[in-house]
Chain A
Amino acid sequence: MSGFARVAWQVMRKDMTVEVRSLEIVSTTLFFAVTVVLMFSFGLVVDGRPADNVAPAILWVAIAFSGTLALGRTFERERQNDTLRALMLAPADRPALYVGKLAGILLLLGLVEIILVPLVGLLFNAPVFAQALPLALLLGAGTIGFCAVGTLFAAMLVRARSRDVLLPIMLYPMTVPVMIAGVRGTAALFQTTPDPAVAQFWLSLLVAFDVVFVVLALWTFEPVMTD
C-alpha cells in the first residue's frame, strides 16, 4: 500500500475504533434521522395516507440533517482533546488525512442510510427496493458529494467560534446541486413507472459534482489547515 492510502486508512481506522468503542455518533445520528422522518410523517400523512411524491425530499433532507450532525460531532471530538493538532503535526500528507476523515464519515452515514431508506419506504409508501441498484448509486454519489464539501468545511471550522451554526449555513447553499439532483433522481425512480434515463442524468451530474469537489477539497485542504 502506498503512503497516501496507508495514512488515509489509518485515520479512518482510528475513527472507526473510537466509534466502535463508544457508538456515540452512529447511535445519536441514527436516532436523530429517525426522529426527523417521524416529524415529517406527522406533518405529511393525512387521513392515514402520505402526501404524494414527498418521499424523495424527506429522504434527502433527513440525510442532509443527520450528515451535518455527524460531521459536527466527528470534528468536535477531535477538538476536545486537541487531537486535530496532533493529526496535523503527523508527518503525513494533509490530503491523506482529509481522505481518511471523509471515508470515516461516509461509512457512518452509509450505516445510517441502510436504516433510513427502508423507514422512509415504510412510512411513505415508496418503492425503495424496486430499483435498488440505481437508488444505491444515487445515494452513494449524493452522500459523497455532500460529505466531500462537509468534511472540508467542518475541518476548517474546528477553530472557529460559533462553528455549530456556521456549518449548516455554509454547507447547505453549497450542496444545493446535490439536493436537487438527489431528490429529482430519486423521484424518477419512485414514480409508478420508473424513468431510469432521468435518474441516470442526475446520477451523472452527481458524479461530476463529486469529482470536481473532491479534487477541489484535496487541493484546498492543505492551505486552509495551515496556520
Chain B
Amino acid sequence: MTRSMTVMMGLAAGMFAVAPFMIDAAPYEATMGLVYKIYFFHMPSAWMFLTAAVTAGVASFRLLFLKRPRADHWVIAAAELAVLFGAFTLVTGPLWARKAWGVWWVWDARLTSSLMLFLIFVAYSLLRKYGGPGSDKLGAGLALFGMANVPFIYVSVNYWRTFHPPTSVVPTLPVEMGIPLWFCVVAFTLLFVILLRLRARLEHQRERLEALYLAEDDI
C-alpha cells in the first residue's frame, strides 16, 4: 500500500462525510424542490460510469493491439467499476425521474444507452467469471465493441425523443448549487481512482501468486 493511496483514502472518506452537509445546505430548486438533490450523487456517478467504460476500452486496446498482458488487470478493475457506478446511476436516475417526470423509466437516448453500456459490462463480468481460460482477450474484444456501440445506440434512440436534461445545464447552475456539485464530483473521482488502483493491485498480486505456485511446482 503506497503512501499516496493512504492519503487519498483519508481524503475521500473525509469528503464523503462532509458531502451530505453541503448538499443539505444547497438551496431548493424552484420546480422540483427536494428531489433534485439526488442529482448531486447521480451526475458524479454517471460521469464515473463513463470514465470506467472509457478506461476499460483503452486498457482493452492496449491488451489486444499493443500486447500488454498486464493491461488485463486494468480492464477487470475498470469493468467492475463500470458495473458498480452504472448500477448507482441507474438506481438514482429513476428515483429522480419518478418525481420529475411521473414515471420510473422512459426510453430516452441517454437512459437507453446507459442501460446498454451497463448490460455490456455485466456481460463482461459474467464472461470473466464463467468463460474459463482465454476469456481475457474475449472480454477485451467485448469491451472494445461496447465502446464503439455507444454512439449507435445514442443516435438510434435519439431519433425518437429525448427527455433527459442536457449536460449543458452544468455551467449555468447558481454558485450555491455548483459548489456542492463539483465537491461531489471530486469525491467520486477520488473514490473511483482508489477502487480502480486497489482492484488492479489485487489482480497483479493474484498473478504473482499464481506464478509463485507454478514455480514451486517446477522444483
Contact = CB atoms under 8 A, between A and B. Distances in A.
B141 A224 contact: yes
Give 7 closest A-B pairs by Cβ, nearest first.
A161-B132, A177-B152, A173-B119, A160-B131, A223-B64, A180-B156, A156-B138
A153 B131 CA distance: 12
Given A157-B131, A176-B153, A177-B149, 20 more contacts: A152-B141, A156-B141, A160-B138, A170-B123, A170-B127, A173-B120, A173-B146, A174-B120, A174-B146, A176-B116, A181-B156, A208-B152, A209-B152, A212-B148, A212-B152, A213-B148, A220-B145, A224-B138, A224-B140, A227-B134
A216 interface: yes
Contacts of B131: 157, 160-162, 166
Interface string B106-129: 000000100010011001001100
A71 to B, nearest CB: 15
A177 B132 CA distance: 29
Given A159-B133, A173-B119, A213-B145, A205 B155 contact: yes
A112 to B, nearest CB: 25
Contacts, number: 89
A149 interface: yes
In which size bucket is the chain B interface? 20 to 34
A124 B112 CA distance: 29
Contacts of A156: 137-138, 141
Interface residues of A, number: 30
Given A160-B134, A166-B131, A174 B64 contact: no
Interface in A79-135: none
Interface class of chain B by DSSP: helix
B161 to A, nearest CB: 13
B213 interface: no
Given A174-B120, A213-B148, A157 B156 contact: no
